Amino acid sequence: MVERDTIRLLRECDSGVKMGITAIDEVIGHVKGAGLKNALSDSKHESERLQTDLQKVLHDYHDEGKDPNPMVQGMSWVKTNWEMLIDGTDSKIAELMMDGCNMGIKSLSRYMNQYKAADERSKEIAKRLISSEEKLSADMRTYL
């Protein structure tokens, strides 16, 4: 049970961190202000560090991780690009990023509750990812 829940939690974290990195990549080229660009860049670097840690733990469990659901990823891309077409301001970018962070926090919290038997190392990675999402969401408030 522990190993199964551990792998499932790690897979969801892997999928989530990939979604976050992709979301930042989609909007960062549209950012006008240096402060917002730096906040997004810093968050992306933190996500990449988390992804590296995740890959090491997944490798220990002989698992390759999980890519984001293509339907969810496609819907996110459409929404982001539509919103950017209508209103490509830094404020809109901050709002979109906050929405994504809040969805990530909610999903990861649900998975932590669902996979209670996961080992402490995977729970710690999930907590770090949630903390990273909370920080980016709070940082975005400045740009609304």
Mean pLDDT of all residues in 90-116: 97
**What per-residue confidence (pLDDT) applies to 128?**
97
Collect all residues with Cβ–Cβ distance below 8 Å to 13 and sequence separation of at least 6.
50, 54, 108, 111, 122, 125, 126, 129
Average pLDDT over residues 49-74: 93
- Residues in Cβ contact with 129 at an 8 Å cutoff, skipping those fewer than 6 apart: 13, 16, 17, 50, 104, 108
pLDDT digit string, tens, across residues 1-38: 779 999 999 999 999 999 999 999 999 999 999 999 99
Predicted TM-score (pTM) of this structure: 0.92
Q: How far is CA 110 from CA 55, 107, 114, 126, 127, in A?
A: 21, 5, 6, 11, 12
Could you tell me where the beta strands, DSSP code E, fall in 50-107? none
Mean pLDDT of the chain: 95
pLDDT at residue 39 is higher than 80: yes
